[in-house]
Amino acid sequence: MSISRFNRAIVREPGRSVVDGLRFEDRGAPSYESVREEHSAYTEALRSAGVDVTMLPPLEAFPDSMFVEDPALVFSEGAILLRPGAPTRIGEADELAPAIRNHFELVIELPLGFADGGDVLVTPDLVMIGLSERTDRAGAEQLAASLLQLGRESRIVVTPDDVLHLKSACSLLDDETMLCTPSLAETGIFDSFRCIITADGESGSANALRVNDVLFVDTTGVKTNDQLDRLGYQLVPLETSEISKIDAGLSCMSLRWFDLASG
């Protein structure tokens, strides 16, 4: 089964506090109403792709809590509750835990260090864990040990300084193909994949999201999307101009997995 095959997902509705979300690059505060619209379109796109979506209520105390991929990882085999590296997000895993335990019998908690789900790239053969401002060496090593409990091998890699998370600069398009920025491609970590490089000035387009037969892409990456279209990918363009102001991309707004029991 392809690792991009999903039938379940968890998302969280944005709260009004989302306008105070973290910013790796300050481009102004987003509009709450616009964030809600973009998040709603994203959720509907998941459903249209054949995914059963569980919507969690907003958490006003945590402005970035709609980005549910950072405090947890989910797989068919089980889940891992992480420790986000930003101080304002450290409590998000505890808030997310009840929903995770409702869906998974095996739930592992990261004991120490810091690790964001945005730094975790799942590939067919192994899980890549990127070191960044949000994921430290201790957290990456503990995450690697936790992944072994789920039967998954991993490798720790270095994320370029000019990106927030590993997946800010790359995404898996299919089991053999990676979309990534030029700087990340130059590191050599994707030498075993066919690499498609984002167009000049469109590095943000590297965070695409493959869901079953379709590929979610950011509408702003016009040249990159044209390239992907020519290669035969079935694109679902989504507006993320407001969400992108607060360190967000397409992958971070949902936790996705294939539930074998309901598959």
All structural domains of the chain with their residue ranges: 8-257
The single residue of 39, 170, 180, 252 carrying the catalytic annotation is: 252
- The burial class, CB within 10 Å (0-12 / 13-18 / 19+), for 111 is exposed
Instruction: Please say if 165 is a catalytic residue.
Output: yes
Q: Are 94 and 120 in contact (CB under 8 A)?
A: no
Q: Residue 160: its pLDDT value, please?
A: 82
- 103 contact partners, CB below 8 Å, separation of at least 6: 8, 10, 54, 74, 79, 259
Residue 23, pLDDT score:
81
Q: Is residue 195 among the annotated active site residues?
A: no
Residue 173: per-residue pLDDT = 97
8-257 has CATH 3.75.10.10 classification? yes
**92-148: per-residue pLDDT in tens?**
999 999 999 999 999 999 999 999 999 999 999 999 999 999 999 999 999 999 999
Question: Residue 247 has what pLDDT?
Answer: 78
- Tell me: pLDDT of 1 over 70: no
Can you give the pLDDT at residue 161? 81
pTM: 0.95
Tens digits of per-residue pLDDT, 58-95?
999 999 999 999 999 999 999 999 999 999 999 999 99
pLDDT band at 22 (very low <50, low <70, confident <90, very high): confident
The neighbour count for residue 220, using CB atoms within 10 Å, is 16
Helices (DSSP H) in 77-175: which residue ranges?
A: 92-103, 137-149
pLDDT of res. 263: 64
Q: Which of 39, 165, 170, 180 is catalytic?
A: 165
Model confidence at 149, in pLDDT bands (50, 70, 90)? very high
